[in-house]
Amino acid sequence: MTNIFNSKSRAAGFKSGVLSAALCLLFAQSAWADNVLKDVRAATQADGKTAITLQFAEPVGDIQAFSTDNPPRIAIDLPETSNAFAQRRLQLTTGAAKSVNTVESGGRTRVVVDLAKNAQYRTQAVGNTLVLTLDPKSAAGSAVAVSAIDFKRGDNGSGRMIVRFDGTNAAPVMKEQGTELVVDIANAKLPADLRRQMDVAGYATPVMNIDARDMGGKTRLVLNTKGKADMMAYQTGNEYVVEVTPKATAVAAKTDLARTGAISSGKKTAGYAGRPVTFNFQDVPVRTVLQLIADESNLNIVAADSVGGNVTLRLVNVPWDQALEIVLRAKGLDKRKDGNVIWIGPQQELASYEQAKEDARIAIETREETISEYIQINYGNAEAIAKLLTENSKSGSGGASAGGAQQRGFLSPRGSVSFDPRTNTLLLIDIPKKVAEVRQLLLTLDRAVDQVMIEARIVVAQDSFARELGAKFGISDRYGIDATDPGVTRDSGFQVNLPLSNPAGILNFSILGANTSLDMELQALETKGRGEVISNPRVITSNQKAAVIRQGDEVGYVTTQASGTTTVPQATVEFKEVLLELKVTPTITQDGRVFLDLGVKKDEIKDFLSTPTGDVPQIQKREVSTAVLVDDGQTVVIGGVYEFKNRDDVSKVPFLGDIPFLGALFKKSSKDMEKAELLIFVTPRILKPAPRPN
């Protein structure tokens, strides 16, 4: 049951701080009533007005009346009145009203009149009779003038039109016509300087423009929108606000609210989850408005007796929780929620109550006796946790108490904490409430940390190909120095010598003549090579803890340098590291993935350089340093290098080496190709800790 608690005194309502006592008083209200509703009658008058007569046992006292637009109805609250009307519901077939319903609850009676359409109403009490007169022809109040029309961009891309009047009697009526939103104000005059079209497309909202028109002494405002949009409107005093929200934003807000289970049926405004309502309050007591909102929200509203005054509001398609905010803001009130109970009072009064409550809590803690607790830390570090609980640093030997100083965070001003590094135990002194809070905190902090195994694979693949072709030939002849010595020979000087250094195949042939010989040798060499090196380092470490694994050699070499005062160089042996190294820091994310900050290095000795003091190693380095987010168990390539070398060399005899076919005898050619590829793969695997035995 939804109620408004009317405090008998301000102290009892807010400064006692005892919600249960307030609710007991609420439900213990007396059921007796000072007056009784006995009969309800309705009649249509000659001028078209409808008169609804309420007959009471006693003279009519204070009443509270208000109306709503959607659906159109008028409600009359009769405090301290019981309902003796036998029918409870009176069905009407003529005039502006369709039916009259009477309901009794909590020592009061509410009369609800369902209207066929919006109508002006007037109440008049004469003795034991209350007459409600409905006039459908005069739905507007006294005339007002439009003083300003403004437009602003609201949250989530919504467009907000603000119309200000020179009085509080404006009665706007809003309706949708396709992509247009039409606001008609029958009792408002539009000055000549405001009769224009406002281009508001630059605000990037669903509203493209606003057309303000004068309709023979009446005002019409037309908002042209693009696409589908949600709308709402509310009126406070002399200000009327129309807000148009993009449909997509409203759907997204609805989806977000649905995830929390806080949404109900109907359209929603971003940030509010209540069911949309339409109210029309004309100088209605604030308590009556709060009661109506309580009925819509199914919450208990407890109001201080200092909450009073009247309010004039016109709300169209506004979530009830936003309507409550508007009412509170209009009257300088504030609220506090405790379960399904909302406390409402003046802002200063609530602030003073909360300040007094906090002062009382601090005073109790100051006088409360402290206790000592010894808490064993299983997985964490007692010293680190002690520093987390207090600002004071602890000595490395432990046992130094932090008593006497103002503590931060989780300890009270009188609390202190120290630690024993030998047994990894916290020594805690504080009031019981804080000790219990620290124990609860340690249930979260002191737990086994997940571990991660990181496996890397480094693949180095190489291909090589070489081909060489060469030739050499020469011509020699014999002739005699004299006729008596024919066996002497000499080289004619004509020869080609383009050999290979290490040929794999040789073809020789000679041509002999009577006094001349031709020797020819063709040489060829072709080599192929393929190699692959795979390295597979792996390491296990805790979450957010750095780990390094290395394997390799230190290669020594001799250097010379002068030392001291002597000028004679001294030989010194120095070393170079040639390593396979994996360095990684893993971080396990909340969604079960692994963020890796890692470095992988693989060194090799490529060659040795000769120096006067000996050979110096030439080291070939392969290294990658990166950060990557990887799924658990997923293998990812974090780096790769591809190298390709192609070289063609030709040595030839000018002109002769260019002769087709025959030119091959006068040149030497070689072709070299090398390919090298480096790939680095990484695979992280999360290792869950085994459950602790009971």
Q: How far is CA 99 from CA 212, 281, 633, in A?
A: 38, 21, 70
Q: What tokens appear for 247 in the block?
A: 């449909």
Q: Is the pLDDT of residue 23 over 80?
A: no
Query: What pTM was computed for the model?
Result: 0.43
pLDDT at 619: 86
Which range in 27-41, 368-382, 398-412 is most confidently predicted, on average pLDDT?
A: 368-382
Which range in 201-205, 325-329, 446-450, 615-619 is most confidently predicted, on average pLDDT?
A: 201-205
Q: How confident is the model at residue 585 (pLDDT cuts 50, 70, 90)?
A: very high
pLDDT at 374: 92
pLDDT at 255: 42
Q: Is the pLDDT of residue 123 over 50?
A: yes
pLDDT at 55: 92
Q: What's the rounded mean pLDDT across residues 205-234?
A: 88
Per-residue pLDDT reduced to its tens digit, 350-377: 888 889 988 888 888 788 888 999 999 9
Q: Which residues pair with 609 in a beta bridge?
A: 616
- Are the C-beta atoms of residues 276 and 232 closer than 8 Å to each other? yes
Q: Rounded to the nearest 10 degrees, what angle do helices 432-445 and 382-389 cross at?
A: 130
Q: Is the peptide bond before 71 cis (omega within 30 degrees of 0)?
A: yes
Which range in 112-116, 154-158, 614-618, 675-679 is most confidently predicted, on average pLDDT?
A: 112-116
Q: What tokens appear for 313 in the block?
A: 């509001």
Q: Is the pLDDT of residue 97 over 90?
A: no
Q: Is the pLDDT of residue 106 over 80?
A: no
Per-residue pLDDT reduced to its tens digit, 250-270: 444 444 433 333 333 334 445
Q: Where are the alpha helices (DSSP H) in 308-400?
A: 320-330, 347-367, 382-389
Q: Please state which of the ranges 52-66, 436-450, 567-581 shows the lowest mean pLDDT.
A: 567-581
Q: How far apart are CA 631 and CA 635, in angstroms?
A: 8
Per-residue pLDDT reduced to its tens digit, 622-671: 888 889 999 998 998 887 777 888 888 888 778 777 788 777 777 878 88
Q: What's the rounded mean pLDDT across residues 427-432?
A: 90
pLDDT at 396: 38
Q: How far apart are CA 591 and CA 631, in angstroms?
A: 9
pLDDT at 652: 79
Per-residue pLDDT reduced to its tens digit, 181-206: 899 888 889 999 999 999 999 998 99
pLDDT at 200: 92
- Are the C-beta atoms of residues 627 and 595 closer than 8 Å to each other? yes
Q: Please state which of the ranges 375-389, 466-480, 582-596 shows the lowest mean pLDDT.
A: 466-480
Q: How far apart are CA 537 and CA 600, in angstroms?
A: 9
Q: How far apart are CA 185 and CA 239, in angstroms?
A: 13
Q: What is the mean pLDDT of the chain?
A: 78
Which range in 221-235, 394-408, 518-532 is most confidently predicted, on average pLDDT?
A: 221-235
